[in-house]
């Protein structure tokens, strides 16, 4: 994580908690010539627009005072989303047994992604899913991203 996102995470954590939420992730990215600071939040039962607004309003003056980013940027607060990316060990533990999509850097077995039930993620980063009752494991070097998968 970059120093900017680490600093924002540290500032945002207590603010989000006061609003009944937790910080899921922080992004600081350049898109279409503009810098964006995005804060993704979560809470049991889901995040509403009111939650996003409350966290944004409470955090904005703190960010202005702490000034963790010396240049101008666009600040956004949103839900982590139903198809959120799993990154931390606790994310994988929390969503074990849920359906996920494992996206690969290069095709594995002819496919760029596999969908199945999350079984585990080992300390070495190997992700194991169950697909139609069969276990499939992917080494960390094969895994570009793991995200929750919603079936329509």
Answer whether residue 115 shows pLDDT above 80: yes
Three-state secondary structure call for residue 83 = coil
Answer whether residue 66 shows pLDDT above 70: yes
**What residues does each domain of the chain span?**
3-79, 85-148
Q: What is the mean pLDDT of residues 23-42?
A: 95
- Would the CA dihedral through 30, 13, 125, 151 be positive or negative? negative
Fold of 85-148: SH3 type barrels. (2.30.30)
Q: What is the mean pLDDT of residues 13-37?
A: 96
Closest residue by Cα to residue 102 from 46, 141, 74: 141
The rounded percent of the chain whose pLDDT value lies above 90 is 90
For residue 21, what pLDDT is reported?
97
Query: Does domain 3-79 fall into CATH 3.30.300.70?
Result: yes
For residue 151, what pLDDT is reported?
79
Tokens for 78, please give them.
């949103």
**What are the Cα distances from residue 59, in Å, to 16, 24, 89, 97?**
8, 15, 26, 34
Yes or no: say if 103 and 86 are a contact pair by the CB < 8 Å rule.
no
For residue 2, what pLDDT is reported?
72
Beginning with the edge strand found earlier in the chain, give each strand of the sheet holding 143-148 in spatial order. 85-86, 143-148, 99-108, 111-121, 127-131, 134-138
């Amino acid at each position: 994580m970059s120093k900017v996102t680490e600093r924002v995470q540290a500032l945002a954590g207590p603010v989000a908690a006061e609003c009944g939420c937790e910080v899921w992730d922080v992004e600081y990215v350049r898109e279409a010539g503009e810098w964006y600071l995005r804060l993704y939040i979560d809470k049991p039962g889901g995040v509403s627009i009111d939650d996003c607004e409350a966290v944004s309003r409470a955090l904005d003056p703190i960010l202005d005072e702490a000034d963790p980013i010396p240049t101008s940027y666009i600040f956004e607060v949103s839900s982590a989303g139903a198809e959120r990316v799993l990154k931390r060990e606790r994310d994988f533990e929390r969503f074990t047994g849920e359906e996920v999509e494992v996206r690969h850097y290069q095709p594995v077995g002819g496919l760029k992604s596999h969908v199945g039930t999350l079984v585990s993620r080992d300390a070495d980063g190997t992700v194991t899913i169950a697909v139609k009752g069969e276990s499939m494991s992917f080494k960390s070097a094969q895994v570009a991203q793991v995200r929750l998968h919603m079936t329509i």
